Structure 1
Amino acid sequence: MTNSIERILDLNAPIGRVWQALADYKEFGSWFQLDLQGPFQVGKITTGKVTSSCHHGLPFWMRLETLEQPKRFSFVWPMDETVSPDDPDLQNKVTLVEFTLEPKGDRTRMTLRESGFDKLPDNKGINVFRMNEGGWTMQMNNIKSYVE
């Protein structure tokens, strides 16, 4: 099994605009289809609910790992909605999502990488990988539409 998903997207928007869409919890929630409760803070959990039609109302949480303006934004999130932030085996039930931004004139190259599928329990890794791979295709279209 591949241990990471990677997408590279060239956006017709300046790096500051793309950074704002990632780092501001309201903007992130808008394009990612989430209703998030409170701003992102490194090391802290942000919670909310999914607003997309296919998973509407499901609980959502993520823990911000990196906020390096305007270059890098990363977080860990659970393999599924059954995992709580206080799970004693949390490190084996989350994947790491990293966004890296690079200016290209008045455009931005955004690289998304999600890793850690190989450590998920009970052969869940392959299922989570497949689900997230499709989900990231949709989310890349969402952020492209949102910032452009």
Structure 2
Amino acid sequence: MTDRIEKTTTLKSSIDKVWDAITDHEKFGEWFKVKLYNPFVEGEMTRGHITHPEAEGMVWESVTRDIRPKTYFSFVWYHDATQAGAAPKRCEMLVEFILKPMNGGTHLTIIESGFDAVPQPESETIRTRNDGGWAEQIRNIEAYVDG
């Protein structure tokens, strides 16, 4: 197993448009299928709920880690995992968005890491589910910014 998921795409849209779609909490929510109640601010919690039909109503909590305008944005979100007989553990997953200009568009890399800290067998289950989820999110942001 690997500790990370990495997805990439090259978008036709400018870095300005892609950056806005990723860091504006309302726009992020439109393509990511989440209703966020407050903006992304370094060091602060962003809360909301999932609107995607498969997870509708589930709680969203993330802490914004780093905002480097038009190049890098990251947050930590949580997976609550348990091992048999163990107390619940809140596992932090780091999500990173890396933007680079490319031929008038934007090369976007999305990385989620931290799976090694999640106990088995939950770790493999979460990683497999999230790998498919990130493939869907790549398609969602492509449709959102490139139409």
Same fold, TM-score > 0.5, yes or no: yes
DSSP-derived class of the 1:62 partner: strand
Contact 1:60 1:81 in 2 (8 A): no
Q: CA RMSD in A?
A: 1.7
Question: For residues 31 and 3 of structure 1, what CA distance do their matches in structure 2 show?
Answer: 25
Partner of 1:142: 140
Deviations 1:7-65 (A, max 9, x none): 11000100000000011000001100011001110011100011111111111111100
Measured after TM superposition, the shift of residue 106 of structure 1 is 1.6
Moved over 6 A (4+): none
Question: For residues 141 and 49 of structure 1, what CA distance do their matches in structure 2 show?
Answer: 21
Deviations 1:57-93 (A, max 9, x none): 11111110011000001011112599xxxxx954xx0
Unaligned runs of 5+ in 2: 83-87
| TM-score w.r.t. length of structure 2 | 0.90
Unaligned runs of 5+ in 1: 83-87
Contact 1:58 1:81 in 2 (8 A): no
| TM-score w.r.t. length of structure 1 | 0.90
Partner of 1:85: none
Aligned residues: 141
Contact 2:97 2:109 in 1 (8 A): yes
Code of the aligned partner of 2:34: L
Question: For residues 128 and 139 of structure 2, what CA distance do their matches in structure 1 show?
Answer: 18
Identity %: 38
Code of the aligned partner of 2:29: G
Distance 1:115 1:54, change over 3 A: same
